[in-house]
Amino acid sequence: MTHDTPTRDEAIRILEEGREAVLSLIERLSDDDFVRPATIGDGDWSAKDLLGHLTFWKENALRSLAQWRAGETYTLHEAYAEDYGVDGVDGLNATDYEAKASLSASDIRTQAASVHAELISALSGISNEEWGRSIADDTWGDELGSVLGGPSGPFDHTSAHLEDLRTFVESLA
């Protein structure tokens, strides 16, 4: 399924709505439930791990923007394979999961809020020219929409995980 690339303002709205949806569920969790493993989806993830995962992809978007502004051109997966020493999304997710496993719940929450704010600020500062500037075979907007996207479309990575989080939270009620 193909999706049209949202405008910068639409992208920001999608990201803000996704964050609010995640936070509204996470805020219903006790500290113990937030870090309890094997509660999200079919894997080993906790709600803490999910928040760290969503933050990781926002970090990648920020890193990509910085590199593009420095004049580097590449495909995102080539850069990830080189920078992280892994190939593919699953390898990236596993590497990040391991890197963030030792962080406290408080650290993950703080990092998530900080990175989200930095991303929204960065997106707000992108000019229309930059949004449409070519990078690899796409535009900055297309590439960012892809790295921050999910099955529901560009910039909507949260939707790929929201139902699993909702199911866990509601199982506690």
pLDDT of residue 157 exceeding 80, the answer is yes
Residue 141, Ramachandran bin (φ over 0: left; ψ between -120 and 50: alpha; else beta): alpha
> Which pLDDT value is given to residue 33?
97
- For 150, which DSSP code? B
Which band of pLDDT confidence, cut at 50, 70 and 90, is reported for residue 5?
Answer: confident
Residue 83: which of 65, 97, 64 has the closest Cα? 64
> Which pLDDT value is given to residue 83?
66
The predicted model gives 49-58 an average pLDDT of 95
Domain 8-171 fold: Four Helix Bundle (Hemerythrin (Met), subunit A) (1.20.120)
The predicted model gives 57-84 an average pLDDT of 78
Domain spans, the chain: 8-171
Which band of pLDDT confidence, cut at 50, 70 and 90, is reported for residue 2?
Answer: very low
> Which pLDDT value is given to residue 79?
62
Report the SS3 class of residue 172.
coil
> Distance from first CA to last CA of the chain, Å, rounded?
36
> Which pLDDT value is given to residue 155?
97
Which band of pLDDT confidence, cut at 50, 70 and 90, is reported for residue 64?
Answer: confident
| Helix or strand (DSSP H, E) at 139 | strand 138-139
Which band of pLDDT confidence, cut at 50, 70 and 90, is reported for residue 80?
Answer: low
pLDDT of residue 20 exceeding 80, the answer is yes
For 94-135, write each residue's pLDDT tens digit.
Answer: 888 888 999 999 999 999 999 999 999 999 999 999 999 988
Tokens 């990781």 belong to residue: 56
> Which pLDDT value is given to residue 12?
98
User: Is residue 10 within 8 Å of residue 140, measured between CB atoms?
Assistant: no
Which band of pLDDT confidence, cut at 50, 70 and 90, is reported for residue 57?
Answer: very high
